[in-house]
Homo-oligomer: A and B are copies of this chain.
């Protein structure tokens, strides 16, 4: 199991690295062989995640250049062996963090790390830094490739809300990545995008911070992914998203608003579409029923609190238990939302790639229909020719 730095069952990542140590990285185990992947495809996703992309995010200029150390052939195909990726740390201004060593930053992990370990990497928050998500995003670039190749599955997120500025009319089935990336704040609805930018600019000037909500969808997900009890697809997605720094809430489909409806209003009635497929007329289930994908677009939302590091003075205590006051000095995001979009997408892609492989293991071992002709008699008869395909 490890203790907390791995995610996934078959398509499984392990991240490592402190924000101000030798670097951060990820080890991806279980990747199918022969998947084409290039360093550039991974770098593109890392660049979406990195700080300093715009005035809205933290001005630290980290290049975050990824090196693939193993698991990919010179021709750019995965080998089926672990894919290790490394991003060296640069741009240390560790004296920005001097105060942290003695005073606990409110709503940060300083105090709880000390309570747990009795020791911590004081510079930059160690593992609690959002820099840890580099490994997730890098590995998820491979997951995205698998999903795309397998079924044209696309995972796409956007900023649904910044504080009370909400993008109401984004259609989960049609908004595009270009629309998202064209917005400084990653909101595909221009009016909402402008209002959000304005709000963030205003709060940045006060040294304060704000939060918001990311909505993320997965389209073209095959039905049958997930499992019915503890590893329900929505449960795995919830864990994935609630493991992101600053997340405070998770919803699937109708979410908390669904509690206001009656069953008659909430149920998704079935019909047969023109292609003869079983579909639902509405999608309050968010693409998942009984823990298993139903082929409709999967829709989740994640709440992110306002960034904890602010430029305003706050009361706190030192490690030695003395009350004091402090003011954040590191360079941090006034609003984490634009950078949270690729993080949520990454976690969703990791969950789906893993679910795809778990489903193949249990339910696609035998080709469709192969077992239909098997007699239920104790002697059994081997299915002709199956072994040869292994």
Contacts and interface: CB of A to CB of B under 8 A. Distances in A.
B262 A17 contact: no
Contacts of A104: 270, 278
B371 A365 contact: no
Interface stretch (A55-63, A124-132, A169-177, A181-189): A124-132
A107 B40 contact: no
A162 to B, nearest CB: 8
**8 shortest interchain CB distances as A-B pairs:** A109-B290, A4-B227, A151-B387, A222-B390, A152-B382, A209-B263, A36-B376, A239-B239
A254 interface: yes
A223 B390 contact: yes
Contacts of A288: 112
Q: How large is the interface on A (under 10, 10 to 19, 20 to 34, 35 or more residues)?
A: 35 or more
Contacts of A115: 223-224, 292, 294-295
Contact of A242 (B232, B293, B377): B232
10 contacts: A16-B82, A73-B121, A77-B376, A113-B292, A115-B224, A149-B382, A151-B382, A222-B388, A251-B303, A269-B316
Given A6-B230, A229-B5, A360-B360, A119 B73 contact: yes
B151 A390 contact: yes
B270 A79 contact: no
A272 B362 contact: no
Contacts of A210: 261-263
A342 interface: no
Interface string A1-35: 11111111110101111100111110101111111
A207 to B, nearest CB: 9
Contacts of A81: 5, 16, 18, 121, 126-127, 228
A116 B80 contact: yes
Given A271-B323, A380-B148, A259 B163 contact: yes
Given A229-B127, A262-B203, A375-B36, A308 B361 contact: no
Interface stretch (A46-54, A64-72, A190-198): A64-72
A309 B272 CA distance: 21
Contacts of A102: none
Contacts of A305: 254, 258-259, 261, 263, 266, 284
A186 to B, nearest CB: 16
A76 B316 CA distance: 29
A390 B261 contact: no
A271 B315 contact: yes
Given A149-B366, A149-B371, A118 B264 contact: no
A152 B390 CA distance: 13
B242 A272 contact: no
Interface string A208-221: 11111100000010
A339 to B, nearest CB: 16
Contact of A29 (B6, B32, B307, B359): B6
A3, A44, A69, A115, most chain B CB atoms within 10 A? A3
A218 to B, nearest CB: 12
Contact of A230 (B16, B76, B243, B268): B243
A83 B75 CA distance: 31
Interface in A358-374: 358-366, 368, 371-372, 374
Nearest to A34: B371
A258 B211 contact: yes
A137 interface: no
